[in-house]
Structure 1
Amino acid sequence: MRLPDRQTLLPFLRWLPGTSRKTLGNDLLVGLTGAILALPQSLAYALIAGLPAEYGLYAAIVPVIIACLWGSSWHLICGPTAAISIVLFTSVSPMARIDSDEFIALILLLTFLAGLFQWLLGMLRFGALVNFVSQSVVLGFTLGAALVIAIGQMPNLLGVEVASQPTALTSLLQIGQHLPEAHWPSLALAAFTLLLSVAVRRLWPKAPALLIGLVCGSLLAWLLPARFTADIALVAPFAGGLPPLTMLSFDLDDVLRLLPAAVACGMLGLVTSLSIARALAVKSHQFLDANQEVRAQGLSNMLGPWFSASLSAGSFTRSALNLQAGARTPLAGVFSALLVALFAVFGAALLTHIPLPVMAAGILLICWGLVDLPAIRALRRVSRSEFMVMLLTFAATLVLELQTAIYAGVLASLFFYLKRTSQPRVRLWQDGDDEVLRIEGSIFFGACQYIQQLLQRSRGQRLVIDARHINFIDYAGVEMLHQEARRLQALKRSLVLRQARPPVVEEILKLEGAERCPVLFED
């Protein structure tokens, strides 16, 4: 057996020797820009996941370094994301109290299991499996996740405490019962932060609107009299430092409970990451090895939890910034992670001055950025069935747990796909005594009944199937053709396949051999 070479085990050796002082300086500046964007996002995503704020910083360090060095994309930057964070929260919150040690341990175990699933897919070269999660499912899930996240931040906006609920719909009903208890200073501070962030984004699109909003909102809370801000909750304090080592607990009951969510999270992370990586590769004209990227994602999420990092995936905002800022190598992402680590060590005290309503307003800004209205409108114009899949996935995110909503969307996509392929396009015409059917599609178990009904309605002396567009036929299709050929023989008629491709002919002859095969062939 051939052993893998050094560049297969350490893929960064393919590009690292080509770096220079110039490219290193350029990537360092790009990494600084990326770190400035990552800081407020990481803190917000940790709160979405129900984790202490510092865990957002941890997730933006070790997993990012591993994914950059072992991945295939030059510009993909990973880390905590809004959609992944809300799936983590909804998966684990029914099992443990939020912010408890048990809750954090389950999040990290779920991350490891999802990473193991991703890594196995990459090692088995099954990266193409992520294609079963269609773009319509991703759009519907993202739209639903944005609404779920916004609902989840309502208690922080209103300054009230609400018990966690398994679905967005029940959470909304629970929040409605607490509206009379709303803390108006908290709501006013959140509204100021949100309006300021939106104004900055409109007037200066390239400015870090989220960071400016967080800083200005926190300054306003600090400047206001104490009688207005005394009851406004702040980010919980933590000791600054590098990500602490964590020993994972592989309790069998916990593993079995988390396994379905781990598969859903793993697939969602891969779909997000590969979609972003492909889009960037087209713009940068780079070759992308999907299976290597899948392995890198898995490796980052397998090793990350041992350094207190929750599940990471590709970030479109940070990755697009990486490309636009002119990153030369994946070291830009590595530098970004190292600068975040420096902040975790020396800037932790600043986080304790951020009010939770201010952070919630920043998260609402992130939620609005998740909504891709042009893509939704385009989907509605192009495909009604795919638009229905998007709507079904969106509805499922509101009434089901998010990982279940992903499965529901995938099943809906497969249903509509099978419905289309079960009725391949067929053209029918008369050619003398021959009745000709041109079948444009595969003859497989799902399409057999439809095609058999067409064959049984034919009236020509010879029934000719124009087979030039048939690429695949399975056992059910072969058996159906043999059955129909023998039925026609009994009526003194014949079934002929014209211009069939060699693989199709080979499959048909396997059933009874060339001498006994009732189906005739002609060029």
Structure 2
Amino acid sequence: MPLPNRQTLLPFLRWLPNTSRRSLGNDLLVGLSGAILALPQSIAYALIAGLPAEYGLYAAIVPVIIACLWGSSWHLICGPTAAIAIVIFTSVSPFAAPGSDEFIARVLLLTFVAGLFQWLLGLLRFGALVNFVSHSVVLGFTLGAAVVIALGQLPNLLGINVPSQATALATLLNIGEHLPETDWRALGLALFTLGLSLLIRRLWPRLPALLLGLVGGSLVVLLLPERLTAGIALVSAFEGRLPPFSPLQFDLTSLLQLLPAAVACGMLGLVTSLSIARALAGKSQQFLDANQEVRAQGLSNLVGPWFSGFLSAGSFTRSALNLQAGARSPLAGVCSALLVALFALFGARLIALIPLPSMAAGILLICWGLVDIAGARSLFRVSRAEFLVMALTLLATLLLELQTAIYAGVLASLFFYLKRTSQPRVKFWQEGEEELLRVEGSIFFGACHYLQQLLQRSDGERVIIDAHHVNFIDYAGVEMLHQEARRLQAQNRSLVLRRARPQVIEEIHKLEGAERCPVLFED
């Protein structure tokens, strides 16, 4: 086995030497745009995850730099995401109070375990496993996560204090009980922030609407008399500094508790990241190494928690901005992370001026961006089975814990896939005493019973299977064909495979040898 070369261990050496002063200047400008977009989003996602605001900035620094340098995509930008943030919150909050030191320690441990799972998948070249999480599962989960996140922010938007709940339904019922306690000043401030952001997005779509909306809400609190703004909660203040070193606390009980959520988050992060990377690679005509990208995602989440960064994945908005703004290399993402680091160091005081109702309004705006109505309609038109998988995942997201909803969606998707493959398309026709069946699909254990029933209903002297479209046959399929061939021999009839591929013939002969094989073959 050849030893890996320097470019395999340090893949950024493939493009870094080609960087010029001009391309570096361009990537720096693109990175500035990305940092402006990342600042409000990262803070919002940290609050969704139940973490202090600064942890959103920390997650947009070290993990982003590692994913950009070790990844395969030129334009993919990682960082905290809304869907993963809400899974983290619902997974860890039953074991520790959100925002507490124990909660933070468990979130960082979950991130490390998810990163280890991702990195091992890439190391073993099992990146294709993420394909088992279908687009319909991701779409249903994203729609459900948008609802869950929005419900979770309603207390901040209404200015009420409601304890966190495990499911969306429980949260909704709990908010309903406390609705009479609504602080109308907090609600008015949230609506102002939301309206300002929507107005900016409508009139000046190139401007950072979310950031300007938060600035507008903060100015309202600063400029209005204190008697009108007293009691409106602000984002917790923190000391401006670079991501601090955070030793992880490896505890067996915590590891076992967090393992299911870590695997779910790891899979969800990989599906999101690879989907975005493939879409961008198609537009930029770039070759994408999926396994290298999986390893990079894993490495970023392995190293990130040691520097206070919680789980990161591909961000569609930041990645699309990266491509549209003309990024020349992954250095644009690195520049974006370094600019976020400068803000974390020198701009901490500004974050403490943001009112929580304004931040809740900004998060609602992010939630609306997660709702893909056009995608759901397209799915309904193309495949009712996939639409049902999406609907089941959405329902599970609202009624169950989120990591359980992901597994439920994957199982539903696999169920419909196996149902389709267990009944391959078979075409029948009669030619004299011969009955022909053209099988279009694999002959494997799941399809054996269906195909055996069709063979037993046939009454021709020669039952011919046109196997030209059969690419794979397993032991159960071979045994079934031998069994049916012997049954037909006892009736002075025969089973013939026509135009079978060499690998299929070889597998059928393995059971008893070519001399004793009861199945006949024709070209």
User: Shorter-chain TM-score: which interval?
Assistant: over 0.9
Q: CA deviation at 1:200?
A: 1.3
The offset of 1:104, in angstroms, is 0.3
The Cα shift of 1:420 comes to: 0.7
Partner of 2:366: 366
Which amino acid in structure 1 is aligned with residue 212 of structure 2?
I
Counterpart amino acid of residue 307 in structure 1: F
Corresponding residue for residue 479 of structure 1: 479
Quote how far apart the aligned CAs of 1:51 are: 0.3
In structure 2, give the amino acid aligned to 1:266.
Answer: G
Distance 1:261 1:472 in 2: 35
Specify the alignment match of 1:139 in structure 2. Answer: 139
Kindly report which structure 2 residues correspond to 1:101-250, keeping only aligned pairs within 5 A, or say none.
Answer: 101-250=101-250
1:224 CA drift (Å) = 1.5
Query: What is the aligned-residue identity percentage?
Result: 79
CA–CA distance in structure 1, aligned partners of residues 340 and 498 of structure 2: 65
C-alpha displacement at 1:3, in angstroms? 1.2
Query: 1:137-166, CA deviations, whole angstroms, 9 ceiling, x for partnerless residues?
Result: 010000000000000001100111111111
What residue number does 2:9 align with? 9
The Cα offsets for residues 234-281 of structure 1, whole Å up to 9 and x where unpaired, read as 001111000110000110010011111110000000000000000000
- 1:282 is matched with 282
- Residue in 1 aligned with 2:332? 332
Letter paired with 2:499? Q
How far apart are 1:479 and its partner, in Å? Answer: 0.6
TM-score by length of 2: 0.99
Aligned partner letter, 1:147:
V
Offset at residue 206 of structure 1 (A): 1.5
Aligned runs of 1:344-423 on 2, under 5 Å? 344-423=344-423
After superposition, give the CA deviation of every residue in 1:8-64 in whole Å (9 maximum; x if it has no partner).
000000000000000010001111111001000011000000000000000000000
Partner residue in 2 for 1:458: 458
Aligned residue in 1 for 2:304: 304
CA distance in 2, matches of 1:497, 1:31: 61
Aligned to 1:269: 269
In the other structure, the counterpart of 2:494 is: 494
- The Cα offsets for residues 310-335 of structure 1, whole Å up to 9 and x where unpaired, read as 00000000000001001101111001
**Matched letter for residue 127 of structure 1:** G
Return the letter of the residue paired with 1:150.
A
What do you get for the CA RMSD once the two structures are aligned? 0.6
Q: Secondary structure at the match of 1:41?
A: helix
Equivalent-residue separation in structure 2 for 1:318 and 1:488 (angstroms): 63
User: Residue 45 of structure 2 aligns with which residue?
Assistant: 45
**For residue 128 of structure 1, what is the amino acid of its counterpart?**
A
1:174 shift after superposition: 0.7
* Partner Cα separation in structure 2 for residue 445 and residue 202 of structure 1: 56
What is the letter of the counterpart of residue 235 of structure 1? V
Amino acid at match of 1:157: L
Q: CA deviation at 1:118?
A: 0.3
Structure 1 distance, partners of 2:456, 2:68, is 59
Given the alignment of the two structures, is residue 62 of structure 1 paired with residue 62 of structure 2, yes or no?
yes
Corresponding position of 1:18: 18
Q: Structure 1 residue 225: deviation in Å? A: 1.6
Residue type at the aligned position of 2:230: A
Q: 1:464 & 1:33 partners in 2: Cα distance?
A: 65
SS at match of 2:125: coil
- 1:201-221, Cα deviation, whole Å (9 max, x unpaired): 122222111011000011011
For 1:204 and 1:135, locate their aligned partners in 2 and report how far apart those are by CA, in whole Å: 32
SS at match of 1:446: helix
What is the DSSP-based 3-state SS (H/G/I as helix, E as strand, rest coil) of the residue aligned with 1:247? coil
Give a deviation string over 1:92-147, Cα, whole Å, max 9, x none. 01110111100000000000000000000000000000000000001000000000
2:436 matched residue in structure 1: 436
Cα deviation for residue 196 of structure 1 reads 1.1
- Give the C-alpha shift of residue 284 in structure 1: 0.6
Gaps of 5+ in 1: none
The separation in 1 between residues aligned to 2:473 and 2:227, in whole angstroms, is 76
SS in 1 for 2:513: coil
How many residue pairs were aligned?
Answer: 523
1: CA distance, partners of 2:442 / 2:11:
40
Alignment partners' CA distance in 2, 1:156 and 1:286: 43
**Counterparts of 1:295 and 1:425 in 2: how far apart (Å)?**
38
The reply to whether residue 519 of structure 1 matches residue 519 of structure 2 is yes
Deviation at 1:195, TM superposition (A): 1.1
Aligned residue for 1:178, secondary structure, equals helix
Question: What is the CA distance between 1:385 and its match in structure 2?
Answer: 0.2
Distance 2:175 2:312 in 1: 29
Give the match for residue 30 of structure 2. 30
3-state SS, counterpart of residue 495 of structure 2: strand
Offset at 1:373?
1.2
Per-residue Cα deviation, 1:273-300 (whole angstroms, up to 9, x for no partner): 0000000001111000000000000000
Counterpart amino acid of 1:120? L
In 2, distance between residues paired with 1:430 and 1:80?
61
Specify every segment of 5 or more residues in structure 2 that has no aligned partner in the other structure, as ranges: none
**Equivalent-residue separation in structure 1 for 2:438 and 2:55 (angstroms):** 60
